[in-house]
Each structure stands twice: as C-alpha cells, then as structure tokens.
Amino acid sequence: MKFSLSLSCLMLCFLLFIGWSNFSNKSIDGEDRVANVLRKLGKYDDSKYPNQNVKGNVSAEAGRMLVEEGFAKKTNGKKTKKQSKHFVCTSCHNVVKEDDDLANPDPQERLVMSEQLGIPFLQGTTLYGAVNRETYYNGDYEKKYGELVEPARNDIREAIKLCAVECAQGRELDQWEVESILAYLWTIDLKMDDLLFNGEELDLVEKAINNDHDQELAAEIVESKYSKGADAHFVYPPADRKKGYDYEGNPENGKLIYDNSCLHCHERQRYSYFDLDNSKLTFKYLRNKAKGYAPHSLYQVIRWGVPVKSGKRSYMPQYTKEKMTDQMVEDLRAYIEKRAQ
Ligand code: HEC
Ligand code: HEC
C-alpha cells in the first residue's frame, strides 16, 4: 500500500515533470503576439504603444467605442461628441482578420472569406493587425494625395487622425481619443497563429529565441509572413462601358459583392443617402446606368468613388485593384443584369 502510493506519487511527479518541461521548451504559443516574438528577436518599436499619460480617459474600451460606435465616454462618464455624422470607422474597415495568407492578400479570396465569416467586404484595409504594419496610405494614395498623407506614411497616430477627418469626414480626434484607438488596435494585433509557418521555420524561430543566435534571420522569417503595408493601385473604368472589362462575369460571385459590400452601406441608406435593395427596379436602374457616363455608373463609382458634394459631406471611397479586380467588377455587373431581367 505504502509502496504503491509512493510509486504513483513518483509517476505523478514524472508526468508533471514531462508536462512542465514540454511547456517550458516551447517558447512560442499560437496566441503569442507577433510583436512580442519580434521583441524577443531584438526588433521593436515602442513609439507605437499608447501613451497612457495623456490627459483624458485613455483606454482600449474607449477606443473600441470610437471605432465601432463613433463616440466614447469621457472621464466624467459623459459621452463625447460624435466623431462623424456620416460614418463610423467600421463603415469602411473590418476589425477582424480578413485574409488567410497575410503575406499575399487577394481580393477574391477575401470576398469568399468575408462571406464565410459573415463580415462585410470593404474599401479600407482591416484594422486587425494595423499596428503591425509599418507604412500607411501606400501606393497610389501616397502618389495622389502626396503632402496630405506624408505625415501618416510611417506614423500610425497620424494615419488614424487623417482618416477620422478625411475618410470619415468628421471632427478631429482629441489626443486621448487617438491614444485610446491605439490601445484598442493593440487588442487586435497579429498573433502567431495568424501567420502561415512551416515546421522548419517555427523551429528556427524557437531556437533563435532560446539560444540567441540566428535572431536576424528568424525575425526576417516572421516578418515575411505578413504584409508591412497594404498596397493600393488605382485602376480606371473600361474605355468602353457598354462592353465593360474584357472578362466574362460570374453572377454568383457578383452576388457576394453586392450583398457583402454595396448593401453594407446602402441598404436602407445606412451610411449613404442613396438607397439600394433587392428589388428589380433597383437592379434595372443600376443596369441601365452601368453602360453610360453618368456619375451613377457602376464603373464610375467603383473606380473613382463618389466625391464629397458641397453641403453633403458624405462620399464613397473607390475600390483599388487590391480591393476589387476588374474580373470582380464584371461579376457584379453580371449579377445586376441577371436580377434586372
Ligand atoms: C468612408 C470610409 C472610411 C472611414 C469611415 C474610415 N476609413 Fe480609414 N481608411 C479608408 C480608406 C479607403 C483607407 C485607405 C487605405 C487602406 O485602408 O488600405 C483608409 C486608411 C486607414 C488607415 C491606414 C491603413 C493602412 O494600412 O494603410 C487607418 C489606420 C485608418 N484608415 C483608420 C481609420 C479610423 C481609426 C477610422 C475611424 C475614426 C477610419 N479609418 C474611418 C476608409 C475609411
Ligand atoms: C463604405 C460605404 C459604401 C460602400 C461599401 C459602397 N458605397 Fe456607394 N456610396 C456611399 C456613399 C457615402 C455615397 C455618397 C452619396 C450619398 O451618400 O448619397 C455613395 C454613392 C453611390 C452611388 C451614387 C449615388 C449618388 O447619389 O451620387 C452609387 C451608384 C453607389 N454608391 C453604388 C455602390 C455600389 C454598386 C457599391 C458596391 C460595389 C457601393 N456603392 C458600395 C457609400 C458606400
């Protein structure tokens, strides 16, 4: 009896030991923040962390409210003024991961994923992982808006402030609100599980963390698994709008775009004065306008966006090539034509 007790005790200790040693050897967990892993590999940028010392109710919860609801609570418990009359940040940005392969984001794959996840398909890049990126308003945004986006190119605070005013067409954010949004963005930063490693690569990263060598290579591997800046190319409507782009449209795919993107903002005029629904009349309207050069043509609004009209500071952001391919535009047109019949 005594013997078996001490034996089972020994076994238990042994099992505990194995369990413990297994765990302690494994220095990376799927839930680990990519930023923390990079820190262990010697790469970090502390300027991106929120400054809690700014006067005001700096908190991730205030940031979440601003992003999703458009206002937050002040230190005295009262609501701030709405940031924008027209939009909230989530009118145009998701706050969850929307690309499977973050190193090679692809709009068609994103569309399918958004349908599976039940999230909208939008012109702005998801805010999930925004703090892990290093450049903002890339590609043609930089070329086209030059000076305006200059301060925001490498500075996430400036990117947030710029979008509040220029994208959301609202008031300027107070400094504590910017820090709160940043604090919130750090709750939706990239985790190791979000990146696609093969076993060898993970081994190398683990070893680099434990043994202090090959750290640079390991950091390079980690950083190669996600895009450090969302690229953006402006593309143009087809030369002949009757013919459209040179692709055969797939109406089933077009339906995903209509439902998950257009209706997100236009259904019952949610973020727009222009109403879209599933009636034949609406589809006929869109079909007839598509071919022409009127400002309501599909090609026009998708590729150029809809500018701010005086007295009505609402506008529609354009879809860059990275957000909608020419093929996808034809898919949408095919769907509209089918529903208009
Ligand atoms: C009307 C649409 C719209 C609204 C509203 C909006 N944004 Fe944006 N935002 C965009 C577009 C379009 C871009 C262009 C670049 C991109 O996202 O790829 C952008 C870019 C950004 C970027 C840089 C992303 C990057 O990786 O280049 C940040 C950060 C950002 N917005 C934050 C916000 C915040 C915070 C709010 C709310 C206060 C907000 N945005 C509201 C449309 C919008
Ligand atoms: C992020 C929100 C958003 C998304 C997504 C969006 N729109 Fe818009 N759209 C707007 C806003 C805002 C306007 C500005 C006009 C207004 O508010 O009346 C607009 C304007 C338009 C107009 C011109 C109406 C006018 O009065 O000038 C058309 C047509 C249109 N959108 C179609 C579409 C289609 C088709 C899609 C899907 C491919 C789409 N929109 C996706 C927000 C959006």
Q: Could you report the per-residue pLDDT of 266-297, keeping only the tens digit for each?
A: 999 999 889 999 999 999 999 999 988 888 89
> According to the model, what pLDDT value does residue 273 have?
84
Is 135 in contact with 229 (CB distance < 8 Å)? yes
Rounded Cα gap, residues 67 and 163, in angstroms? 11
Q: Could you report the per-residue pLDDT of 99-124, keeping only the tens digit for each?
A: 999 999 999 999 999 999 999 999 99
Q: Which residue has the higher pLDDT, 27 or 75?
A: 75
Q: Which residue has the tokens 């200059």?
A: 150
- Distances in whole angstroms, Cα of residue 30 to Cα of each of 62, 135, 194, 196, 222: 27, 25, 8, 11, 13
- Find out whether the beta carbon of 122 lies less than 6 Å from any atom of ligand 1: no
274 CA: nearest ligand 2 atom: 18
Rounded Cα gap, residues 122 and 63, in angstroms? 21
- Measured from the Cβ of residue 204, the count of other Cβ atoms closer than 10 Å reads 16
- Find out whether the beta carbon of 83 lies less than 6 Å from any atom of ligand 1: yes
Distance of CA 193 from the midpoint of ligand 1 (Å) = 25
Mean pLDDT confidence for 218-226 = 97
CA-nearest residue, atom 23 of ligand 2 = 296
Is 48 in contact with 136 (CB distance < 8 Å)? no
